[in-house]
């Protein structure tokens, strides 16, 4: 449909140039992929590596590792052929092959290079550049069984890992220190290896066909993903080669990284690891022997117990501080007669004034005291209703959705959710589902979700709905009146001048109409002012289609 002059590409950032460590990782990744093809083993790019493939068509520019996902079933297949699959210079590190490698995930390690981390200093596995292989385990579907299973899984990971604790604020609801102590005593009685073996037989016997979700353990944090998001891998571009990601990788990103997964983080939030790298020399050249740090190993169990004791104390102190904050805010709002004022302001639709009253609660809820621990600051449903109403009507869908996430398990457990909160939850779910379907180009399912959202009387006036609706229209441009669509986007851009996504959609529609001068102007302005990596990638692909990028 596009015709006329070409757009220019002078505003694009220069493509990322791989560093030496990434070159070695790519070499190992290609080797691993070729051998998986040879032995008919299914795996997926995972974590930041998959995100890089989808959002950057290669490594995240700052990334220094490779994350891979593999199901327990495929991992067992890999282990069964490891003698043919691996070699002296490419080694599988797991708990069976190396007695002091104690992790719930495996690594595929190059022995000719150096990549040393502090957490692996004293283990007996090679310390070259590596691929991390995270194992996906099916979990029970019944809610009660699932919670019991997850507690056992935490205990298993805790007993297995001696160099770091798995207890964290992210998985706090599954932590049971009393049960953990019982397993420690059992370890003292029959040996830790026997206890781990018993736990493995219990935990890893669930068939995928009888489950809905996978779990993986990643540096002390547990991630639960729907099995249906994986399926048959699809091959996508990664550093000018094709590698496999999950069939609905973008839906997995929403769980792992949040609804803002497409946004490129600021420099201070770009995660790197503390790794000593040398791609030209073996790690053995830095060590007198492979067992140089073996004398540290006996210190680890006591160090681990101390770390858990400190976390237990911190967790109890945090609970006490949270209760004090809840009581303080309840008293504060009661003394201000805040509910009466909020109800009056709501009738008058003065949402910004409601926001001023509620800011003390929002500041506390999104502080580390509550946000970091995924804890909801409960001061009653009447306030929750006004908080959600205020955030929705002031365009803060991000915090609106996050609060609904925090309250989900609590309200389901109490079976006491008000109809108004349930309605807000259904609306948020429809908007998020619509965007998740559009992530994977399923516009038919996205339309059904938007139709569910628009059933609520306030939907069409909300920025979040209008953004999703315009995204759907631009995504299905073949059946749209583009001139009418352009006018709609311009009107929305005028109404929401701070929302840069409308600027992208305007440039996209202008490009489709052949108005390349206006398209270039608006897309350049968007590119310079937005960190949405998927939209930036779309602009680059438009220019490639236009012949401006080779």
What pLDDT digit, counting tens, does each position of 416-442 carry?
Answer: 688 999 999 999 999 999 999 999 999
526: nearest Cα among 547, 511, 513, 514 = 511
d(CA 175, CA 155): 8
Q: Which of 216, 249, 204 is CA-nearest to residue 231?
A: 249
| Under 8 Å between Cβ of 132 and 68 | yes
Alpha-carbon span 104 to 94, nearest angstrom: 8
Tokens of 19: 């560093």
Q: How far apart are CA 217 and CA 205, in angstroms?
A: 17
- In this structure, what token pair is assigned to residue 297? 């190993």
Label residue 461 by pLDDT band (50, 70, 90): very high
How sure is the predictor about 415, in pLDDT bands with cuts at 50, 70 and 90? Answer: low
Of 267 and 80, more confident? 80
Q: Which long-range contacts (CB under 8 A, 24 or more apart) does 28-34 make?
A: 28/66, 28/90, 28/108, 28/110, 28/129, 28/130, 28/131, 29/66, 29/131, 29/238, 29/243, 30/241, 31/90, 32/68, 32/108, 32/131, 33/243, 33/244
Is the predicted pLDDT of residue 4 greater than 60, yes or no? no
Q: What is the pLDDT of residues 157-181, one digit of tens each?
A: 999 999 889 999 888 889 999 999 9
Given a contact cutoff of 8 angstroms between Cβ atoms, the answer to whether 232 and 247 are in contact is yes
Count CB atoms within 10 A of the CB of residue 263: 17
Section 516-532 average pLDDT = 93
pTM of the complete model beyond 0.75: yes
**What is the model's pLDDT at position 13?**
82
pLDDT in tens, 118-143: 888 889 999 999 999 999 999 999 99
Q: What is the spatial distance between Cα 203 and Cα 205, in angstroms, rounded to a whole number? A: 6
Q: At what angle do helices 177-190 and 192-203 cross, to 10 degrees?
A: 120
What percent of the chain is predicted at pLDDT more than 70? 96
* pLDDT for res 270: 78
Using alpha carbons, list the distances in angstroms from residue 396 to 267, 351, 443. 24, 12, 25
DSSP 122-153: TSSS--SSEEEEEEEEEE-SSHHHHHHHHHHH
Task: Return the structure tokens found at 289.
Answer: 């022997």
Q: Who has greater pLDDT, 276 or 402?
A: 402
| 130-139 and 66-71 strand pairing | parallel
**What is the β-pairing status of strands 130-139 and 106-110?**
antiparallel
Residue 550 has pLDDT above 70, yes or no: no
The residues near 86 (Cβ < 8 Å, ≥ 6 apart) are 92, 108
Q: How far apart are the C-alpha atoms of 231 and 208, rounded to whole Å?
A: 12
Query: How high is the pLDDT of residue 275?
Result: 82
pLDDT tens digits, 334-358: 999 999 999 999 999 999 999 999 9
Separation of alpha carbons 444 and 296, rounded Å? 58
Within 476-550, where are the H helices?
Answer: 482-495, 501-512, 516-529, 533-545
Q: pLDDT-based confidence at 306, cuts 50/70/90?
A: very high
Question: Among 273, 137, 265, which residue's Cα sits nearest to residue 202?
Answer: 137
Kindly state the average pLDDT of the residues 225-229. Answer: 97
Other residues' Cβ atoms within 10 Å of the Cβ of residue 321: 12
Question: Token match 């199901």: residue?
Answer: 71
pLDDT tens for 57-86 read 999 999 999 999 999 999 999 999 999 999
> How does DSSP classify residue 378?
-
Helix (H) or strand (E) holding 66: strand 66-71
Q: What is the mean pLDDT of residues 194-210?
A: 95
pLDDT at 2 over 70: no
8 Å CB contact between 374 and 169: yes
**CA 82, CA 84: separation in Å to the nearest integer?**
5
Q: Are 431 and 468 in contact (CB under 8 A)?
A: yes
* Short-list 440, 438, 458, CA closest to 448: 438
Burial of 97 (0-12, 13-18, 19+ CB in 10 A): middle
Q: Give the CA count within 13 Å in the CB-facing half-sphere of 375.
A: 22
Average pLDDT over residues 519-532: 94
* Residue 91: pLDDT over 70: yes
Is the predicted pLDDT of residue 187 greater than 90, yes or no? Answer: yes
């Amino acid at each position: 449909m596009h015709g006329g002059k070409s757009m220019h590409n002078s505003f694009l950032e220069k493509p990322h140039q791989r560093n030496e460590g990434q070159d070695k990782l790519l070499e190992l990744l290609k080797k691993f992929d070729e051998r998986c093809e040879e032995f008919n083993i299914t795996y997926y790019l995972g974590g930041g590596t998959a995100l890089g493939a989808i959002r950057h068509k290669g490594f995240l520019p700052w990334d220094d590792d490779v994350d891979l996902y593999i199901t327990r079933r495929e991992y067992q297949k890999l282990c069964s052929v490891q003698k043919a699959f691996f070699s002296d210079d490419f080694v599988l590190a797991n708990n069976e092959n190396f007695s002091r490698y104690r992790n719930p995930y495996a690594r595929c390690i190059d022995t000719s290079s150096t990549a040393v981390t502090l957490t692996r200093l004293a283990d007996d596995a090679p310390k070259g550049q590596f691929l991390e292989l995270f194992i996906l385990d099916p979990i029970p579907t019944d809610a009660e069984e699932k919670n019991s299973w997850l507690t056992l899984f935490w205990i298993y990971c805790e007993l297995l890992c001696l160099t770091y604790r798995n207890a964290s604020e992210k998985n706090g609801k599954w932590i049971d220190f009393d049960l953990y102590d019982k397993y420690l005593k059992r370890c003292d009685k029959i040996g830790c290896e026997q206890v781990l073996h018993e736990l493995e037989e219990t935990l890893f016997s669930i068939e995928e066909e009888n489950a809905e979700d996978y779990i993986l353990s990643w540096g002390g944090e547990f991630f639960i993903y729907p099995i249906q998001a994986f399926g048959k891998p699809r091959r996508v571009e990664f550093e000018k080669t094709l590698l496999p990601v999950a069939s609905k990788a973008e839906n997995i990103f929403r769980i792992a990284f949040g609804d803002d997964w497409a946004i490129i983080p600021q420099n201070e939030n770009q995660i790197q690891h503390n790794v000593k790298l040398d791609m030209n020399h073996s790690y053995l050249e830095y060590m007198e022997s492979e067992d140089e740090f073996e004398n540290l190993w006996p210190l680890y169990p006591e160090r681990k117990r101390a770390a858990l004791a400190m976390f237990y104390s911190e967790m109890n102190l945090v609970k006490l501080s949270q209760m004090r904050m809840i009581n303080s805010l309840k008293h504060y709002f009661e003394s201000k007669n805040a509910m009466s004022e909020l109800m009056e302001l709501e009738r008058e639709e003065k949402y910004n004034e409601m926001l001023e009253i509620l800011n003390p609660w929002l500041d506390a809820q999104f502080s580390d005291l509550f946000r970091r621990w995924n804890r909801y600051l409960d001061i009653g449903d009447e306030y929750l209703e006004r908080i959600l109403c205020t955030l929705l009507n002031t365009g803060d869908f991000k915090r609106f959705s996050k609060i609904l996430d925090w309250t989900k398990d609590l309200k389901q457990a109490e079976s006491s959710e008000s109809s108004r909160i349930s309605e807000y939850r259904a609306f948020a779910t429809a908007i998020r589902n619509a965007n998740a379907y559009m992530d994977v180009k399923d516009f038919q399912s996205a339309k059904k979700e938007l139709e569910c959202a628009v059933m609520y009387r306030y939907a069409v006036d909300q920025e979040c709905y209008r953004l999703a609706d315009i995204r759907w229209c631009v995504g299905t441009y073949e059946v749209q009146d583009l001139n009418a669509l352009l006018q709609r986007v311009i009107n929305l851009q005028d109404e929401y001048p701070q929302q840069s996504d409308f600027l992208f959609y305007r440039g996209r529609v202008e490009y489709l109409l052949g108005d390349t001068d206006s398209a270039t102007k608006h897309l350049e302005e968007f590119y310079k002012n937005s960190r949405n990596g998927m939209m930036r990638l779309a602009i680059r692909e438009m220019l490639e289609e236009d012949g401006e990028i080779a």
